[in-house]
Amino acid sequence: MKSMILNAYGEGAAFEAADIPAPAAKAGHVVVRIAATSVNTVDTMIRQMGKDLPLSPDLPAILGMDFAGTVTEVGEGVSGFAVGDEVFGCAGGLADLQGALAEFMVADARLIARKPKTLSMREAAALPLVGITAFEGLQRAGAGAGKKVLVQG
């Protein structure tokens, strides 16, 4: 499968096209054909800082945390997802997890969700980490039923 590999860390580190073996599903995981990805600040920090940042993958690395795509294989013990389901999530690009900058990736079924039908693949791929961050911010602020929230910027 085609992928974009990082062979070095640092300010000038460049991604290089590479062909690598396609992944296979394992217990508790699904294989997703990637349709869209997004780039987060964490992705750029990993590229620049490398192993100075905890959880950076070993080189060569396939980065990319957020994605949207279609399930092509379901591993043992996975329920709630089937081949052909459109999904999105934040499930790779850290430590020993292959990222989304490839045609396919293995994703832990607990870290993905069905893509809303009203969103395009691109829109869904832009949501996971920023959505998690926004949700955590609302929790930390004590937001809840009956409370008002002002969002600026």
Structural domain harbouring 9: 2-130
What are the tens digits of pLDDT across the range 1-50?
Answer: 999 999 999 999 999 999 999 999 999 999 999 999 998 888 899 999 98
pTM of the full predicted structure?
0.87
Amino acid at 98: Q
Residue 123 lies in a domain: yes
Strands 66-74 and 29-38: what pairing? antiparallel
What does residue 149 show for φ and ψ, rounded to 5 degrees? -125, 130
Task: Identify any residues that bridge with 29 across adjacent strands, giving them in sequence order.
Answer: 108
> Is residue 153 pLDDT above 80, yes or no?
no
Residue 106 lies in a domain: yes
What are the tens digits of pLDDT across the range 64-101?
Answer: 999 999 999 999 999 999 999 999 999 988 888 899 99
What are the tens digits of pLDDT across the range 101-126?
Answer: 999 999 999 999 999 999 999 999 99
Residue 110 lies in a domain: yes
The domain total for the chain is 1
What does residue 40 show for φ and ψ, rounded to 5 degrees? -110, 165
The CATH code of the domain that includes 79 is: 3.90.180.10
